[in-house]
Amino acid sequence: MARTARLSDVFAAPAPGAVPGARLVADLQAALAVARRRGGMLTSDVRTAPGIGSWAFITDRDGSELVLWQNAG
């Protein structure tokens, strides 16, 4: 797997109906691990809205911010 500074290229699927601009992931903790391995940094606490989903803000090495979203369920 090639390293990239642009995590938005890694997590490209938008999360419909979630936070605008969020990227939908199947497993938030696994996605955060991938982001860290690729040089990203968690910039918020992981937050959860019961019955709705969980999300976290990350930044890539260039400082671009991204929201990762996992639907509840």
Contact 64, 19 (CB under 8 A): no
Which of 17-21, 22-26, 36-40, 62-66 is least confident? 17-21
| Residue 68: half-sphere exposure toward Cβ, Cα within 13 Å | 29
CATH number of the 7-71 domain: 3.10.180.10
The per-residue DSSP string of 11-57 comes to S--B-TTSSTT-EE-S-HHHHHHHHHHTT-EE-S--EEETTTEEEEE
- Whole-model pTM above 0.95? no
Phi and psi (nearest 5°) for 20? Answer: -55, 130
Contact 23, 66 (CB under 8 A): yes
| Structure confidence at residue 57 (pLDDT) | 95
pLDDT per residue over 20-33, tens digit each?
778 899 999 999 99
Segments making up each domain of the chain, as ranges: 7-71
- What band does 4 get if pLDDT is binned at 50, 70 and 90? low
Residues 40-54, mean pLDDT to the nearest whole number: 95
| Structure confidence at residue 51 (pLDDT) | 93
